[in-house]
Amino acid sequence: MEAIAPMSLLEARAVEKRYGGVVALAGCSVVIERPGIYGLIGPNGAGKTTLFDVITGATLPDAGSVGIEGRDITGLAPYRLKSIGVSRTFQECRVFPQFTCLENLLFALQLHGGGKAKEAHRMLELVNLHGSAHEPASSLSFGQRRLLEIVGTFIVQPKFLLLDEPASGVNPVLLETLADFLRTMYRERPGVFLIVEHNMQFIMQLANELIVMHQGVVLDRGAPAAIQASPRVIEAYLG
C-alpha cells in the first residue's frame, strides 16, 4: 500500500473505483492538512458519495489508499473507524422513528461508551428540538429528523465528520439552524468536516474551502469566492 504522509489529517491518494464499465473514481486524490469545514461539490455522478464510501470503509477501492493522521485506514471496517473518531451521515435520513428524540441521542452515546443526558439535552436545544425531547422521532418533520440525525453524529465528538447532502429536503428556516449548529460544533471542537452538498447557497456560506469533483477526480479546489469565479468549474458545473 502507498505510504501515508504523517502531516495530513485526512487523505485519499490515487483512489480508483469501478462498477462494471462505470468509472466512479479515476485516480482521485484529496489531501486535508488542517481542521476546517470543507465542501465537496460537483455534478451528479462526479464520484462524491463513492469517495465518502471509500473513506468510511463502506466500499473497498480498486486501487489507491486512504489515511488518517498518518495511519493507513484503507478498507478498515466502519465500526473500527468510529473508534478512531470518524463518523458520517447518508443521503437518506437514519433515525429510530419509534424512539424519542432524547432516546435516539442516548442510544448513540451508549454505543460509544455512555455519556450524560445533560449533553443530549443541550444538543437538542441547539437545534430547537428541546421541546420534542420526549416525543417520538416519527412526530418530527423530515428536516427536523435530519437535524436529529446530524446531532447524533456530533454527540459522540468525532474528529472527522462526513455529511452526505445534509441540506437535502430541509426548508430554509431549518437550514439556518443547521448552519448555526455546524458552526457552533466547529468552534467547540475543531476537526475536519467534509460535506457533500448540492445546495450552493448553503455550502458557499458555510465552508472555508470547496473541493470540486468532476468525472471521478478533483477538478479544482479553493475558497468559495475563487471557486465561483473559476472558468473550468463554471464550465463543468456551476454554469
Number of domains in the chain: 2
Q: Same domain for 141 and 168?
A: no
* Residue-range definition of the domain harbouring residue 109: 91-157
In angstroms, the Cα distances linking 146 to 71, 72, 109, 149, 230 are 31, 31, 18, 5, 32
What does the alpha-carbon distance between residue 108 and residue 122 come to, in Å, rounded to a whole number? 15
Q: Same domain for 34 and 151?
A: no
pLDDT band at 91 (very low <50, low <70, confident <90, very high): confident
What does the alpha-carbon distance between residue 60 and residue 55 come to, in Å, rounded to a whole number? 9
Q: Same domain for 10 and 110?
A: no
Domain boundary among 128, 157, 186: 157
- Give the model confidence (pLDDT) of 24-39 as tens digits: 999 999 999 999 999 9
- Give the model confidence (pLDDT) of 118-177 as tens digits: 889 999 999 999 999 999 999 999 999 999 999 999 988 899 999 999 999 899 999 999
For the purposes of burial, counting CB atoms within 10 Å of the CB of 129, is it exposed (0-12), middle (13-18) or buried (19 or more)?
buried
For the CA atoms of 202, 146, 87, 197, what is the dihedral angle to 10 degrees? -30
pLDDT of residue 63: 97
For residue 19, the tally of other CB atoms under 10 A from its CB is 10
**Grid cell digits, residue 21:** 464499465
Q: Is the pLDDT of residue 4 over 60?
A: no
Q: Same domain for 34 and 142?
A: no
- Give percent of the chain with pLDDT exceeding 90: 79
Q: Same domain for 36 and 137?
A: no
What does the alpha-carbon distance between residue 12 and residue 32 come to, in Å, rounded to a whole number? 9
Mean pLDDT across the chain, nearest whole number? 91
pLDDT band at 3 (very low <50, low <70, confident <90, very high): low
pLDDT band at 107 (very low <50, low <70, confident <90, very high): confident
Q: Same domain for 132 and 20?
A: no
Average pLDDT of span 5-23? 88
For residue 22, the tally of other CB atoms under 10 A from its CB is 10
pLDDT of residue 221: 97
How does DSSP classify residue 133?
T
pLDDT band at 68 (very low <50, low <70, confident <90, very high): very high
